[in-house]
Amino acid sequence: MIIPGQIISLATFPGVVVHELAHQLFCRFFKVDVYEVCYFRVGNPAGYVTHEPPKKWTQTVLIAAGPFFINSLMAAVLAFPVVLKFDFNSLTISGVVLLWLAISIGMHAIPSTGDAKSMWKAVSGNKAPLLAKIIVSPIIAIIYLLSLGSFLWLDLVYGVFVSLIGPFALVQLIS
C-alpha cells in the first residue's frame, strides 16, 4: 500500500536521488568508505547511504548535512535560467521541467531525522568539544522541527524558496 509520503517521494524522486548522491559525495570527499547506496526506492526511507563511521565528528556532521548544501545549490542553479526570463504566459515545457526538477531537489535539501541522529551521535558525550555541541545542537533541533513541519509542507516551501525566490531576488539585486 502506498502512503502519502511515498507519493510525494515518487513525485519528487530527483530530490531523493540528489540527496543520497550528496551524502555519497561528502563520503568520497572525506575518504569514508561507502558500503551501499540506494538512490531511490518506494518505501521508508526513500533512499539511503551506508558507510563506515567517519574518523572525525566534523566529517559525520558534514556528511549528514551534505544534502542541504548540494540540493540547495543545485535547485537554485537549475531554476536560475527560468527565473532570468520568468513569465507565466511564456513558460515553456522545458521551463516547467526545470522548475519541477529544481523544486523537487530543493524539497529534499533538508537533512532527515536519521541524519540528525548521526549528527547527535557524533557530538554527544566526549566525542566532540563543547563548542561543537553548542554549534551542532541547534542545527539538530532545527532539523527535527523542519521534519515535523513537513506535515505543513515546509519542505515544499523551502524548495520553492531556494528555487524561485532566492534566484529571483538575486536577479532583482543585479538588475
pLDDT in tens, the chain (175 residues): 556 778 888 999 999 999 999 999 999 999 999 999 999 998 889 999 999 999 999 999 999 999 999 999 999 999 998 888 777 677 888 889 999 999 999 999 999 999 999 999 999 988 799 999 999 999 999 999 988 888 788 999 999 999 988 888 888 888 7
Instruction: Give CA–CA dist 101/159, Å, rounded.
Output: 10
In this structure, is the dihedral angle defined by the CA atoms of residues 29, 119, 10 and 14, taken in order, positive or negative? Answer: negative
The structural domains of the chain, with segments of one domain joined by +, span 4-174
- Summarised one tens digit per residue, pLDDT across range 18-64 is 999 999 999 999 999 999 999 999 888 999 999 999 999 999 999 99
| Torsions phi, psi for 33 (to 5 deg) | -65, 135
Burial class (CB in 10 A: 0-12, 13-18, 19+), 75: buried
The answer to whether the CB of 163 falls within 8 A of the CB of 78 is yes
Among candidates 71, 155, 74, 75, which has minimal Cα distance to 113? 155
